[in-house]
Amino acid sequence: MNGDQRLPVLLEVRQAAHSYPHFQLQPLNFSLHRGEVLAIIGPNASGKSTLLKLLAGLLRPQAGAVLLGGRPVAAFNFRERARRLAVVQQESFLHFPIRVMPFVLQGRYAHMGPLQFETGAHQEVARAALLQTRTGHLAERLLQEVSGGERQRVVLARALAQQPELLLLDEPTLHLDIGSQVELLRLVQKLARRDRYGVALVSHELNLAAEFADTVLLLDQGRVLRYGTPAEVFERELLEEVFQTELEVFLHPETGRPRVALRTPEQQTQGGGPESPDAGGR
C-alpha cells in the first residue's frame, strides 16, 4: 500500500519499552494504519513475542504507550479489548472435543451480556466468518479432525467473529505446508484491504513477510534495527548481520518484492549472487 493510499492510523507505539530481569525491549516507535499488514521479524529472543504482548495489552509498557484508536491498550478492560482486537496464537490448545461452529462462536462472547446465549445475529456473524475463511463446510466437524491448514483458518474465523479493528497473529503459518501458508496470508491480506483491519504478524518466514507485508519491523536483541517497506528492510548486509548467515537478497521478477536465499559455497567463494532471479524460491 503506497503512502498516498494509506488509511488513518489505527495503532501507535510511542517510546514503548518493557524489561525482564535478563531482557530489555528498548523504546519503540512505529504506527499501523487501517488496511495495512505489518510483519515483525527477527531472530529468536529478539523481542517479537514481548512486542506482540504489548500490542495486545497483555503486558503494560513500563515506559511509553501503545495506543489503539488514541487510547492506551493496557487501559481497556477484557471485554473492551476483545471487541477492539483479536489475537491468533501459534496453536490453540483444546482440552475437550469441540465442533467448529461452537468454537468460532466463542469469538462473540465479548459482545454478549452476562448469562446471555448466542442469538441468531451472533450465529450470522459466525457463519460469515466461516465463509470469509472458506471453512463453512467444516461447521459441523470436530476441530480436532480437520487438517492443520483448515484449523488455522478456523482459528482466524474465530478472531474475525470478534469483529475487531486490529488482528495480531503470532506465527500464523507455523507447521503449515507452503501452499497453506500462502493461502492463509493471501486471505489475511485480502481481509485487511477489504475490511480495513490493521494486521500485525510475527513471522520467521522472511520471504512470506516480504511478499505479503506493507511494512516490516526488524528486531534484534530488543532493538529496532529497521522499520519500513520490505524493500527498505531487506538489505543483504543488514540481514546477514542479524541472522549470522551469508545470504543473497534479490527482487522477484514478477512482483518486484525482495527474496532471500542462502548463498551457496561457490557464491561465498566467488562473491557472486544467484544464477537466476528465481534462485531460492519462496
Q: Which domain holds residue 33?
A: 3-245
C-alpha cell recorded at residue 50? 514481548
Query: Both 184 and 254 in a single domain?
Result: no
Give CA–CA dist 26/12, Å, rounded.
16
Q: Does residue 49 sit in the same domain as residue 161?
A: yes
Q: Are residues 53 and 156 in the same domain?
A: yes
Same domain, 107 and 7: yes
Q: From residue 188, how far is each of 22, 51, 85, 192, 200 by CA, in Å? A: 35, 20, 15, 6, 10
Tell the residue number behind the cell numbers 518466514, with chain if given.
Answer: 205
What pTM was computed for the model?
Answer: 0.88
**What is the radius of gyration, based on Cα positions, of the chain?**
20
Per-position pLDDT tens, the chain of length 282: 554 567 899 999 999 999 999 999 999 999 999 999 999 999 999 999 999 999 999 999 999 999 999 999 988 998 899 999 999 987 655 668 899 999 999 999 888 765 556 678 999 999 999 999 999 999 999 998 999 889 999 999 999 999 999 999 999 998 889 998 999 999 999 999 999 999 999 999 999 999 999 999 999 999 999 999 999 999 999 999 999 999 999 999 999 999 999 987 666 666 555 444 443 333
Q: Are residues 282 and 147 in the same domain?
A: no
Q: Residues 135, 227: one domain?
A: yes
Domain count within the chain: 2
* Cβ neighbours of residue 268 closer than 8 Å, sequence gap 6 or more: 246
Same domain, 78 and 176: yes
